[in-house]
Structure 1
Amino acid sequence: MNRQVKEIELLAPLTGPVVPIEDVPDPVFAGKMFGDGIGLDPLDTLLVAPCDGTISHLARTGHAVTLTTEEGAEVLLHVGIDTVELKGEGFTPKVQQGDRVVAGQSLIEFDPDYVARRAHSLVTVVAIANGDAFQIASRASGSMQAGRTRLLTLVPTGQPVMSPSASDAERAEAAAQAVGATAAAAGAAAAIVADASPSVEARGEVQLATKGGLHARPAARARDAARKFASKVELHYGGKSASLNSIVGLLGLGAGEGASVTVVAIGHDAREALEAVIAELGHDAPDENEQPSPAHAVSPAPRAAAPVAARALDPNTLAGVAASPGVGVGTLVRWDDGDVTPVERATGTPAAESRALDKALAAVDAELEATVARASQRGAVGEAGIFAVHRVLLDDPALVDAARDLISLGKSAGFAWREAVRAQSAMLGNLEDKLLAERAADLRDIEKRVLRALGLSSPSRTRELPPEAVLCADEFTPSDLAGLDTTRVTGLVTARGGATTHAAIIARQLGIPALVAIGDALHAVPDGTQVVVDANAGRLEYAPTTLDIDRARAERARIASVRDQNRKTSQLAAKTTDGHAVEVAANIATAADARVAVENGADAVGLLRTELMFIHRPTAPSVDAHRDSYQAIVTALEGRTAIIRTLDVGADKEVDYLTLPPEPNPALGLRGIRLAQVRPDLLDDQLRGLVAVQPHGAVRILLPMVTDVGELIRLRARIDQFQREAGRTDPIEVGVMIEVPSAALLADQLARYADFLSIGTNDLTQYTLAMDRMQAQLADQADGLHPAVLRLIAATTQGAAKYGRWVGVCGALAGDPVAVPLLVGLGVTELSVDPVSVPSIKARVRTLDYQLCRQRAQDALALESAQAVRAASREVWPLD
């Protein structure tokens, strides 16, 4: 019976010439990994809706949008290539996720000149994300007009792909082709031998067409195909057999590309199950392990600004957030990947251990499901595929049953799971097929995930590092980095965290390039892989070519040359071109840091973090220990003053012997001076040690997490008491950290009792924007140049000016060259940065005109986003 197929017409979302999908300058799009589609080289600045529909996804960086039609077609519109790396700069979304739109409605406005100068290409892709349900019946060529010219016609999958103007002869030919295809399918089915008894066994042979053979993804697809039927299906190869339900068992067959495999199905619907499995294994499907052939370069149409030459993104690349600038080359070393040794004997009954294992498996499955969903939502097909397979492995009966057998023998859940996984890993590791043997790494990954879910963690370990090591972890803590051999560590990369965590601060302090918030895809990069960390571009390249490495080393050399030039003038004062002085101080944690600060020309120490004194000790330091530690630092500073912050723990800084009560939200709990509420002895001992340092005047005390004047007045009274007890008559300067909005808004009141104010932009940004700075997904949005944060900085400097107090910035923003002109313009007179950054920040200040900074800073307060502020700053004060 014939039925009318409703076609979906997509209009051009942009004005410009058509680019065939195969010629889009990106192997992911050109290889149709996002689906079939078409490209456009835009000549205008507005992306419009190609049809009516609902905005089902809007990229948080505003460069891409997915529109779902009433019929269910998912249309991805992606402006430019690699434009996610612009982090929203140059893009202004005109819609929100969930909006209903009509054809021709504005979706995204973008700055083509800005994007073209910074992205690999402006070629914009229109792709059908659910190509399993819809196919392209016709596509246009030539030049398009936005919202007016028909670009694509879609029909449901399985319908003839036919132009509406096709002739009768063409339709007849299409019908003949369809009959031929049916006959071919029937011929293939005829190769299947089945008996006619009610308990049917069907057998057939299939030659594996998938590249790499029967690895995890084709095995998973075949298993899913068979699950639609009741029959049991097995594969036989090389004298071995495996149930289709066991992915690990299938991998153990070692069937490579082109191998002939016997498929056996038993059950009432055996014939149908056999056909489905053979059909799945007998054709090649796009695989994220494949690297599509490089796409041909596209010559962009002329436009006002010359675009950057298009180049395809290296598929061996992961994006992250820059936490410490620079470029590093080295061997990936998993810092938090030590072996876990569960106890062998169970402490509970087998039933209790089984329940614990079930709970852990469910938790890890939920974690992986969320990871796959996030990766799919942002279009990371390869990443989603990796972790989808991990979910399949997690559900493998060969693993779970083996673990349960061991539990029944009295073994603990952790021990049983580890032994079951390692037995399968050993089997795969012994296979001659390299690709299949590498799947053992997938098993080891889920082994560790489940052990962590069981409450088991890796012990701290001492490990000899290779000469060039890039350390990899889910997330670093400050104590992880405190004792690093900086002569061997060339880079740091983490799956989570943010650019303003204290571990990131320490990385900048050590001068080590660092990338954070890379995501779970980082865990799939094997230990020992050669990598390039380009923190300046926010990229981690794994398995780089020799040319990539040479380029990275050349960039490192260039950066080192600029640093050397800046160091030659680092001992000179930092003054703007019109004579305005800015003190550039250093953030440190140890006496060794103090010596580095002096060598780099720091005018003073603007922040001495004392947390490491507490973190590495089994018990709290005594008054004498405090005094001796600070005295050593003051001596190393050779007459420079030091601002020493009192203990600030909690949130991402934990101290084992501090038995603090559990908190659902540590960032809003007992932090900074609030700790005195439960452990006043700790703060008292520290303050006594501080007032004892000689000479008087070498130390200033900085109080963290102050929220109102009452707290400051009470603490100043205690400091005065300790000074009198020590026989000290001259007052010690006391400052307040401005890191919560209430402190910024009350700056004039605080300045009445404080000698200076120091802005901690990391926490101030977190609390102002309500964005956890430890949250990887928000790391690139928690930007201290947000206008709301800048307004609080302006309120702080204005409040301090009422009492003639000076204001410094000791957060990460002080070391951001894009932010420096604006901070100076807002009235900040001290910038405290990591010791290695002192020369470059001083050099930056010397290029500025103070009056221009004041004017532009006021303009920035009226902008709408951090991206707009950064763009405006770069326009006025370009970076090298």
Structure 2
Amino acid sequence: MSVPIAGPIASPLAGWLTSLDAVPDPVFAERMLGDGVAIDPIEGIVRAPVAGRIVTLHPARHAVTIESDAGAVLLIHVGLETVALGGEGFVAHVAEGDRVAAGDRLLSFDLDAVGRRAKSLITPIVLTNGEAFAIVPAGLDRMIAIGEPLFGLVRRDAAVQAITDGPVAERALVLPLRHGLHARPAARVAERARDFAARVTIVAADGRTASALSPVAMLALALPHGAPLQLHGQGEDAEPAVAAIAALIESGMGEGLAIAPVAAAPETETVAAPLPDRLHGVAAAPGMAAGPAWTPVRVRFDVAERGRGIEQEREALAEALHILRADTLPEEGALASIAEAHRAFLDDPELLTSAARGIAAGQSAGFAWRQAVGHFVGLLGGTGDARFAERIDDLRDLEARVLTVLTGTPATVAPPAGAILVADELLPSQLMALADSGLAGIATGGGGPTSHVAIIAAGLGWPMLAALGADVARIADGTMLLLDAGTATLTIDPPADTLATSRIAADRAAAFRAEAVARAHDPAATRDGARIEIFANLGSLEEARAAAQAGAEGCGLLRTEFLFLDRPSPPDEEEQVATYQAIADALGGRPLIVRTLDIGADKPAPYWPMPPEENPALGLRGLRLGLARPALLETQLRALARVTGDVKIMLPMVIEPAEVRRVRAMLAAIADAPPALGIMVETPAAAMLADALAVDADFFSIGSNDLSQYALAMDRGNPAVAARLDALHPAVLRLIAATVAGGATRDRWTGVCGGMAADPLAVPILIGLGITELSVPPSAVAETKARVRRTSLASARDLAQAALAADGAAAVRALARTYIEDIGA
């Protein structure tokens, strides 16, 4: 069988040619991005190794990706940790989308300057689509000049497409690898698979598959130690190929761990612990509900691996995507932004290209789509950051929506009216499909208050609890439940008198809401005349319009990440000006406080690739990332300085005055009359240095979500501890009191824009601590104003002092609950 050659790859640099194994970075050395070589350069010029198109050019200009005319995608990454230079020492001679000829200059860099500041100058050249091509080595450990042959490429897809029949061999085994099928053993499996012509596929117990030629695809399976799997081979040498790969895996590859047999326990020992009467979780959407439990059935889509023909499968996938793109989107609010994000995934070029390759290799449209999504799920899951789970849910959601169209299988079944949905996890599209179903509330074992499901629930007016734990899955359908987001508890099979009391409380809450909505556009002041401004937290133009309609007196936090995420490159200055101005106009002259870009940690951007961090919440994020890469921050500041209206700028993740002074200097160089500059107080450092920060900052706004997690040393994205993460803990309240006191030394006002601003129990305490502005979701504006009107400043101060002296969050909540019951709020 002849295998077509994709052509030689020329060296893009001059220097010492070596293996990726010599690169002191596991991402490259372990070939997580693909196979390739590395060059230690002797001059600062990078030229095109092939004729083709520039796919990506990193904003820091240290990395460029080129797709050859034959379809090979090559990444050239100059040096290690050079992204931290922010482009200093680099010059780009091309732009994304440019056509280049082999030998054209792509980049120039200052060899000495970059070499002094980088971890290493060694430059990996990586083939990133190894599922389509294989590298043919041309010799290593030698000097190479620009333009000399670097390696050859063999096209895999032609060979794969040729294997449509032939002998089949299968083998079942259990994974003995101590750390599961991670990068190193996956690379060795792929290397062994290349010795055979047969196509070998690894099949997980849940039906997901990966080519044995693709280390990344195998990583995406996330198979742990002890996982059952099956090897499926097809082709002339299928039997020896499967036997060889099975032997390699079963050898343990130097990290084998015995698999303990699972002993059958006597029937008398299998009795499960009784289900608790009450589960505690996290309030994800406010309110109270009572009703029978209902568990949605998660539909499993049966899709054939082999397609009916390449053109037919291409057309089927294209039609399914067209149908989903044509879905009517909500016109405003959180649902609109979530649906828009899902639509962006439908147009993601990498996702579409991956699916197209699968179809070209003979897979069905559904199987290729599932494989493509699984690849990216594996990449996100491999970061080790629990907060990526929400983005994984979005991808799985997208997988289900496409398979629903392809197979004609409905993804959801309607619940009985008035039911409380209980599930371990829930996808956004599942919930959106139930918008008119008459659900009373939602209770999930996992998740958290920042997930898309929580945002949708709040937008639809459904109370929701998250992070309730594994016991949720044991609740039988029809069991009566009482869900109270105020106390973050789910009561299972409550007594009749408890249900009756809850219904009275629900009726009282409905009357309170009706009164609040009637006065939503009136200013908010306490009974003794203290003026408290009620602003809204926003994340889109649609939310700005909704906030103005809801009676918000301004925007206390505009999260600008919606402009920067889910796109291949950042917005330019003109796009930012237009967006910010539209939001300012929608607010009708009301104050607009804009937080500068806060990415990193749980909000990665594709054009700012960042190495995995052991603890992203403590890593390069917020303002510290902006100052490390000043070009993007300066563009945003220029855009904000051009917006007309009452605009203020707010900096995230500040820890010391020097950071504020650096940004103020940037603003002074940009505008003659720059906007007011304030900070978010999210770190204990900022709270304790509030008096010093007040010299340079014009105002403070408490980011209670992050301030709480840092003060209490609990990751707010970790369901195991999320139930105890409470902003009303006295330690957090003392940090807020210190912030207010520090700001008062320079007459700086302090607001709260975190989740506690909308917590009914927190509102009187915050007023008593001296907070004069609360920024809440648009849906909470009216009721927050009503609570302020029922509070007196004098009694709130007494409550706040008692809260500061309490010994825990539960004691504070008990004090606050008594207070709001007394004032009827």
- Scaled by the length of structure 2, what TM-score is found? 0.49
- Scaled by the length of structure 1, what TM-score is found? 0.47
- Greater CA radius of gyration, 1 or 2? 1
